[in-house]
Amino acid sequence: MKVQLTSPLDMHLHLRQDDMLKKVAPFSAKYFSGALIMPNTIPPITTKELLLEYKKAILDATKDFTFTPYMSLFFQNYDKKFLQEIKNEIVSIKLYPAGITTNSQNGVSKIDIDEIGDTLQAMSELEIVLNIHGESNGFVMDREKEFLPIYEVLAQNFPKLKIVMEHITTKESATLLEKYDNLYATITLHHLFITLDDVAGGLLRPHLFCKPIAKRPEDKEALLHLALNAHPKVMFGSDSAPHPKSKKEAPGCAAGVFSAPVILPLLAQLFEKHNKLENLQAFISDNAQKIYNITPPKKVIALEKKAMQIKNEYEGIVPFMAGETIEWSVQ
């Protein structure tokens, strides 16, 4: 059994910086036509100069492949003039609540329309997409659910602003997606495979620890329903977030799952298992092209149902399902 995917897209990718960038970027560039690059670097990407510098570093690290880095800005209050000047260099702006995840300490401390509404209105008029890491500071299992009223306020007040609920993990988020025309969502690979039980139900598995944390079986089922049926408002975003093994297998374990090397074979395995292989193309590329109004470079990736063992690590970075044998592989 074989399948061909045309211009796969990863609409939520962390490439880090410096040596880590050089290590991990080729894994995405080899298999994907393009990816939306997250801006929570150190310092965060908030100026045109920082953005162009980061984009050049990514292009240098992926020069052996056909790959487009779709760039995003780290949300802060920007005036319309600046956004007009930088519009052709970005596809989105990413809003992080302050301190909620890796390198988000400079995020928004209070999501209040009176304080950030001018920027949101300018984004709406300029057709710049708003991405949001939607979590509160509450109890860890309830953080995403507690954030949903904020999505509602934003969707109601800026009906022409495309808002992407990043890496959704709950059935409540899946339900909210249907309520507003301007709400969209990304879903990760790991949240389609694991629940909290996989992370902490037996021995603690630090390489599965991520934010948002994996949830309950019924939440995973809601995500599977959206992804497997290629819901037109849903697209793939890996949230592949590499950390050195030394920072994962340690006190204060860093949050993030490194999935870039294994995404396409595992998605093929999942969709084939559920007899939905014909929907994988829309989930992995077509929906994102429509939502973001982008045309990625042509790249065809052929996959086949042939067993492959995932490496235990890549240069000190442990991948998702390390050491396991899976049913599909890239030809």
User: What is the tens place of the pLDDT at every residue in 256-314?
Assistant: 999 999 999 999 999 999 999 999 999 999 999 999 999 999 999 999 999 999 999 99
94-122, pLDDT tens digit by residue?
999 988 888 888 889 889 999 999 999 99
Please state the φ and ψ torsions of residue 163, each to the nearest 5 degrees: -120, 125
Q: How far apart are CA 37 and CA 40, in angstroms?
A: 9
C-alpha dihedral, 83 to 84 to 86 to 90, nearest 10°: 80
Task: Give the pLDDT of residue 105.
Answer: 86
Residue 5 pLDDT > 90, yes or no?
Answer: yes
Q: How far apart are CA 272 and CA 307, in angstroms?
A: 14
The domain spans of the chain are 9-263
Q: Which residues pair with 183 in a beta bridge?
A: 163
Task: Give the pLDDT of residue 220.
Answer: 98
For tokens 């509450």, the residue is: 138
Q: Please, which contacts does 54-62 make with residues 24 or more away whose CB atoms are closer than 8 Å?
A: 54/17, 55/89, 57/17, 57/21, 58/15, 58/21, 58/25, 61/15, 61/21, 61/22, 61/25, 61/26, 61/29, 62/25, 62/26, 62/28, 62/29
- The helix (H) or strand (E) run that includes residue 55 is helix 48-61
> Is the bond preceding residue 212 a cis peptide, omega within 30 degrees?
yes
Q: Which residues pair with 13 in a beta bridge?
A: 37, 240
Q: Is CATH 3.20.20.140 the right assignment for the domain spanning 9-263?
A: yes
Which tokens go with 174?
A: 């899946």
- Bridge pairing between strands 329-330 and 300-304: antiparallel
Active site residue 60: no
Q: How far apart are CA 52 and CA 308, in angstroms?
A: 38
Query: Smallest Cα–Cα separation from 76: which of 52, 100, 99, 96?
Result: 96
11-60, pLDDT tens digit by residue?
999 999 999 999 999 999 999 999 999 999 999 999 999 999 999 999 99
From 10, 219, 239, 286, active-site residue: 239
Residue 218 pLDDT > 90, yes or no?
Answer: yes
Q: What percent of the chain has pLDDT over 70?
A: 100
Q: Which residues pair with 4 in a beta bridge?
A: 302
What rounded mean pLDDT belongs to the chain? 97
Which tokens go with 58?
A: 């990514």
Judge contact between 101 and 62, C-beta under 8 A.
no
Task: Give the pLDDT of residue 101.
Answer: 85
Q: How far apart are CA 98 and CA 111, in angstroms?
A: 10
DSSP structure class, residue 97: B
Judge contact between 245 and 318, C-beta under 8 A.
yes
pLDDT band, very low/low/confident/very high, at 250 (cuts 50, 70, 90): very high
- Average pLDDT for residues 214-231, to the nearest whole number? 98
Residue 177 pLDDT > 90, yes or no?
Answer: yes
Query: Smallest Cα–Cα separation from 189: which of 165, 210, 162?
Result: 210
Q: Which residues pair with 14 in a beta bridge?
A: none
